[in-house]
Amino acid sequence: MSWKTLDDMDLNGKRVLVRVDINVPVENGIVTDTTRIERIAPTVLDILAQGGKPILIAHFGRPKGKVMLDMSLRVTVPALEAALGRKVRLIETLEGAENLTHEAQASDVLLLENIRFHPGEEANDPDFAARLAQLGDIYCNDAFSAAHRAHASTEGLARHLPSCAGRLMQAELQALEAALGTPKRPVVAVVGGAKVSTKLDLLGNLVEKVDTLVIGGGMANTFLAALGLDVGRSLCEHDMTATAREIMLRAGAANCSILLPADVVVAREFRAGASHEVVGAHACPPDAMILDAGPLAVTRIIAALDGAKTLIWNGPLGAFEIDPFDAATNAAAGHAARLSREGRLVSVAGGGDTVAALNRAGAAGDFTYISTAGGAFLEWMEGKDLPGVAALKR
């Protein structure tokens, strides 16, 4: 590893600035999903166990450098205290953090108010980063999901303080290194979703790195159209067919096999329980929509997984939100989960709909690693340097 972890730092008696991502969903003043909060607990509790003082830095929403009370982190305090089993004190201003009261000094965990209330945060202003750095002795980044942003609290702080990765960041980076950095081969990537245009960099990077690329979801329709097949009324980017052909050529040159659905599930309307049929990928009726991969396609995906050592998954294979068009995603994800559970496959998944699809399939718990990061996970898969990670390597 070219970056340090908490194990490499002397934390005893030190103030530790911990960048976390607790940008969680809230309804009626209550956090409705505490997953992100629960995942930072190992880092915070580790710092406390080693005699350090955790000072949490986080954002909430997009206040764009202005104080907006409806985006205060105060709403997260009860959930933080429940997850940590410790008292958490919100520090409302930087001046308050610079001149802590006796009560604040005695608190186990401090939480700075929404860091994006300050315009210097997203601007990565050097003076603002230097001011933040005065609040601590050590910087710990535990927010991989914000690592693709070069902000003061994700990149600038690492220029001023001894720095390390928190437990969540460490786990994320180790999982990603195992999946694409130095993976066990063969490597299979499953990429689904609606549009080729949003995943051009991703597909272009993967064909150079993996042995088999499974393409599903709406973007598979664009690839089928690029092969000259009629996809009826399906979601399809017809203006991207030339790009799809170029990706297939690049894959061939890199000895990467692209697996497109040989058969598909079609329907005339997009609703749960709609009348549907399975047809060959070459036989979509002109008045129908392709809404899922068919059973033969699933059989071929499962065979690819059986021959793989590493799997990277991003995006569903069909319209997974409604029955029966979740069948391909559920079957393939379930098989990947079983192989992972048996120790035969290293499986890493992440990004947007992916986590929801794997949870719906009941498969997420058995994947080797599920990333809660959205943009950062995708940019890493695209082969881009993430500022927050690069800062830790310096």
36 is catalytic: yes
Two domains, one topology: 6-167 and 183-381: yes
Tell me what pLDDT residue 2 has. Answer: 85
Q: What is the pLDDT of residue 353?
A: 82
Catalytic residue among 334, 352, 374, 383: 352
In the set 89, 195, 233, 250, the catalytic residue is 195
Q: Alpha carbon of 64 to those of 24, 118, 120, 295: distances in Å?
A: 18, 8, 10, 48
pLDDT, mean of each 10-residue run, the chain (394 residues)? 92 98 94 94 98 98 95 98 97 97 94 98 98 98 96 98 97 90 94 90 94 97 97 96 97 98 97 95 98 98 98 95 95 98 96 86 94 86 92 89
Residue pair 335/361 in contact by the 8 Å Cβ criterion: no
**Domain layout of the chain by residue ranges:** 6-167, 183-381
Would you say 320 is a known binding-site residue?
A: no
Asked whether residue 23 is marked as a ligand-binding residue, the answer is yes
Annotated ligand binding at 144? The verdict is no
According to the annotation, is 199 in a ligand binding site?
yes
* Residue 27 in marked binding region: no
**Which of these is catalytic: 15, 19, 36, 53?**
36
Q: Which residues of 77-95 are buried (b: 16+ CB within 10 A; e: fewer)?
A: bebbbebbebebbbbbebe
Query: No. of H helices and E strands in the chain?
Result: 15, 17
Q: Would you call 29 a catalytic residue per the annotation?
A: no
60 labeled part of a ligand binding site: yes
Residue 65 marked in a binding site: no
Q: How far apart are CA 318 and CA 217, in angstroms?
A: 4
Rounded to two decimals, the pTM is: 0.88
User: Rg (Cα) of the chain, in Å, rounded?
Assistant: 23
375 is known as an active-site residue: yes
Rounded distance between C-alpha atoms, residue 189 and residue 249, angstroms:
17
- Exactly one of 96, 334, 374, 375 is catalytic; name it: 375
Catalytic (active site) residue 232? no
Thinking of the domain 183-381, which architecture would CATH place it in? 3-Layer(aba) Sandwich (3.40)
Superfamily of domain 6-167: Phosphoglycerate kinase, N-terminal domain (3.40.50.1260)
